[in-house]
Amino acid sequence: MSINNYVILCCLVAVVSAAELVDKNKNDQANLGGRVTYLEAGEIHIYEPLRRHRGFFEKDLRTYCYRGEHKTLGRLFETVELILEIDSDDYTQYDGATPAEVQEHYDEHRSLFSFNLFSQKRTRLQLSPFASSCMGIETIEPYRIRLQKVRVDFWRVIQLVVGCLVFHYAGKLSQNAVFYYITGVALGICSSFMLLIWLSSKLVPRRTMMYGVLIGGWTIGLYVIQMLWENLQVIILTYRTYVFWYIFVTGVVSFFFCYRWGPPTNQRSKNIIKWLLQLMSLIMIYFSSRYEEATAAIIILTIILHYFPRSLWYKGRAFWLRKFPPKRRFLTNEEYYEQGVRETTKALDELRSFASSPDCNQWRVMSKLRDPMRFAAFVEGASHLRDEEILHFESSKYSDDLDDSDISLNDSDEEDVSSQIIQQHHVKTYYNGQQQLNTVGDISEDEEDVISEEDEENMARGRATPLQRYHITHASNSATISSAKQRLRHITPTTRARHSSAPRSVTRSSRLYEQEFSDEG
């Protein structure tokens, strides 16, 4: 055979093989199209096997997929779970991102050279809400499969919050003895199987071949732990007595080990524990959501806020307050008085406590006081002010209020005040030779002759005469003095905080009338 014929034959074989491969792919896609089901949230699919599929080599493969959705912050804590409800364990599970990938895993498993010791059978498979995921099930048993979607998974929220708190308080936790014992006991309960492997390794000769055996033993141990974790609920309900004694014994032994070694005292050991806690907390934050970009941003923000210099934060806050100062609210008279009473009472109580404490040198203090008996009575609970001091303070305060000149009266106000005074003191005046009566003081006959024509004109206009002004001034002073005495008898916080302006107005008006009377005289 010539070389040309050989090349032609090879080309024909390649073309035929490619055509067969294309036909096979088309047939596989056609078969997959009939055996692939896309599930939506809340949808339940029931599978019932056919009789012709029952046999040793006739298991049926069905693929169930979830398309995925766009990434948004509203779906940060969303959880999508594929739940399989089957009564038997006679099934095989294949995972993949697409139906073709599931079919590829299925073909590899059917090969004569395939061997998968750690094949997993999970009845609950968590899927990413933002990526396409598929699961293939091969069995001859009936089953139900449904897709469950939780918009806000509170376990993920708790995981994120716990991760942030552990990262922030890792330094304090590394120095806490209670946290040390709790963590040691928990690790002892969870890793007692690995402890048995470590103890058994002490009995094995230190040879090169035995290291491979130990590595394989650790791998088997991790696989067993994973299987126990997946079936933890069934184990606890079925073997609760054994589980209780296992936790009790391993917890006590772990506590004894932790007590023997004691909490770490070296600062470098504490730093290592702190860094491990922070690393674990960052891992918790990362796996708290399927939105990897958002969790990465949260991790970066957490690290920046934790290690950000506080001095820069205080400077930025001070700059902001200088540019935009907040509004200051002033105290009212009532608030000012209440604050004064409260702070004074607090300071007096502190003084009593200090004078009664061993820190105070009583003899030295008593030697420097002017009235030691009064101070001793104060320490025993007496008031810090005497009645005479309170009376003197109130009288001086009231005198200052009388001399205050911040309120001025115009002419119309003076006339109104004078008319009110005349009415209040019941000054009755009769014109054209009638008798004049005054409830404050009687007018004699000589005083009646003193009334001049100008007085009559004032009386006609409604103004008070000079004689009436004298009686009005005398009455207002008497009323003011009696009011002051009455206030000194009944001293109250309200009296101390406020003073009426009526007596001051009356006294000023009377003084103005006296001045006018002296000018006219």
The average pLDDT across 186-208 equals 66
Q: How confident is the model at residue 455 (pLDDT cuts 50, 70, 90)?
A: low
Has residue 476 got a pLDDT over 50? no
Range scoring the smallest mean pLDDT among 55-59, 235-239, 288-292, 377-381: 55-59
304 vs 411: which has the higher pLDDT: 304
Identify the pLDDT of residue 295: 93
The average pLDDT across 175-201 equals 78
The average pLDDT across 179-206 equals 73
- Look up residue 138 and give its amino acid: E
The answer to whether the CB of 224 falls within 8 A of the CB of 193 is yes
Report pLDDT digits (tens) over 278-293: 999 999 999 999 999 9
Helices (H) and strands (E) in the chain, counts: 22, 10
Has residue 328 got a pLDDT over 50? yes
pTM above 0.75, yes or no: no
Has residue 434 got a pLDDT over 50? no
Q: How confident is the model at residue 313 (pLDDT cuts 50, 70, 90)?
A: confident
> DSSP string covering 303-321, please?
HHHHHS-HHHHHHHHHHHH
Q: How confident is the model at residue 31 (pLDDT cuts 50, 70, 90)?
A: very low
The average pLDDT across 15-23 equals 53
Identify the pLDDT of residue 287: 92
Q: How confident is the model at residue 197 (pLDDT cuts 50, 70, 90)?
A: low
425 vs 317: which has the higher pLDDT: 317
The owner of tokens 């946290």 is 179
| Full strand arrangement of the beta sheet holding 79-86 | 44-47, 143-150, 79-86, 124-127
- Look up residue 399 and give its amino acid: S
Report pLDDT digits (tens) over 63-113: 999 988 888 888 899 999 988 888 887 888 888 888 888 888 888 877 655
Identify the pLDDT of residue 278: 93
Identify the pLDDT of residue 401: 60
Reading the block at residue 31, the tokens are 């078969």
Cα(16)–Cα(3) distance, rounded to whole angstroms?
A: 20
Task: Provide, rounded to the nearest whole percent, the portion of the chain with pLDDT above 90.
Answer: 12
Has residue 236 got a pLDDT over 70? yes
> How wide is the angle at C-alpha 118 spanned by C-alphas 116 and 123, nearest 5°?
115
The average pLDDT across 296-301 equals 94
Cα(453)–Cα(11) distance, rounded to whole angstroms?
A: 151
Q: Which residues pair with 61 in a beta bridge?
A: 138
Cα(71)–Cα(498) distance, rounded to whole angstroms?
A: 67
Cα(484)–Cα(478) distance, rounded to whole angstroms?
A: 10
Has residue 123 got a pLDDT over 70? yes
What is the 8-class DSSP label of residue 80?
E
Identify the pLDDT of residue 346: 92
**Cβ burial 413-445 (10 Å sphere, 16+ → b, else e):** ebbebbeebbeebebebeeeeeebebeeeebee
Report pLDDT digits (tens) over 127-176: 888 988 898 888 888 889 999 888 898 999 999 999 999 999 998 998 88
Task: Tell me the average pLDDT of the chain.
Answer: 72
Identify the pLDDT of residue 20: 53
**Residues contacting 221, CB < 8 A, separation 6+:** 193, 194, 197
The average pLDDT across 181-190 equals 86
Identify the pLDDT of residue 301: 92
The answer to whether the CB of 98 falls within 8 A of the CB of 134 is yes
Report pLDDT digits (tens) over 248-261: 888 898 899 888 88
Cα(394)–Cα(261) distance, rounded to whole angstroms?
A: 73
Identify the pLDDT of residue 312: 80
Identify the pLDDT of residue 300: 94
Has residue 458 got a pLDDT over 60? no
Identify the pLDDT of residue 156: 92
**Residues contacting 441, CB < 8 A, separation 6+:** 471, 474
Rounded to 10 deg, the angle between the 411-424 and 502-520 helix axes is 100
